[in-house]
Amino acid sequence: MKKILLTLFIVLGSITIQAQELEWHTDMNKAMELSQKNKKPLLLFFTGSDWCGWCMRLQKEVLKTDEFAKWANDNVILVELDFPKRTAQSAELKQQNASLARSFAVQGYPTVWFVDVQKGEDKKPVLKQLGKTGYVRGGASAWLEGANAILDHGKTQKK
């Protein structure tokens, strides 16, 4: 009986962990396609994953919580735009991330932009900025309150 309960506990625990895993995209083109297909805005996370203390803190206190995972799965397509110092990246990824950082005038890390992917006149995707945030004290609840305000404002702008 103990073996059955232990096995059941392990199986259910692994299902819960898998359910909360998030898919962070690094290819902006694929993320834009998913955004249009799923009708969800993009969350662009500009980070210095291996050197930025505030980025690591945002990860720990918000982005790696179950509360954030549930919210993100329901509301956004996640894109990580990383600027590491000790981790190698392809030249293509570095160029993409640098170009996006310039386009969004990123001046500090972490910066989180929410953007809506729309079709331009030439049918190419156009990114409409909904708002930005960064590290917010108060954990996931406080951060998500601000994120929801940005997304809600974006929805009213569409109408």
Q: Given a cut of 60, is residue 158 above it in pLDDT?
A: yes
3-state DSSP helix/strand/coil percent for the chain, to nearest 5? 55, 20, 25
Q: What is the pLDDT of residue 159?
A: 58
Q: What is the pLDDT of residue 77?
A: 99
Q: What is the pLDDT of residues 9-54, one digit of tens each?
A: 554 444 444 446 899 999 999 999 999 999 999 999 999 999 999 9
Rg over alpha carbons for the chain, rounded to the nearest Å, is 18
Q: Given a cut of 90, is residue 5 above it in pLDDT?
A: no
pTM: 0.86
Pairwise CA distance, residues 27 & 122, whole Å: 22
What is the token pair recorded at 11?
Answer: 């199986």
Pairwise CA distance, residues 133 & 78, whole Å: 15
Q: What is the pLDDT of residue 154?
A: 80
List the CATH code of the domain at 23-158: 3.40.30.10
Q: What is the pLDDT of residues 115-155, one digit of tens each?
A: 999 988 888 899 999 999 999 999 999 999 999 999 999 87
Q: What is the pLDDT of residues 90-126, one digit of tens each?
A: 999 999 999 999 999 999 999 999 999 998 888 889 9
Q: What is the pLDDT of residue 51?
A: 98
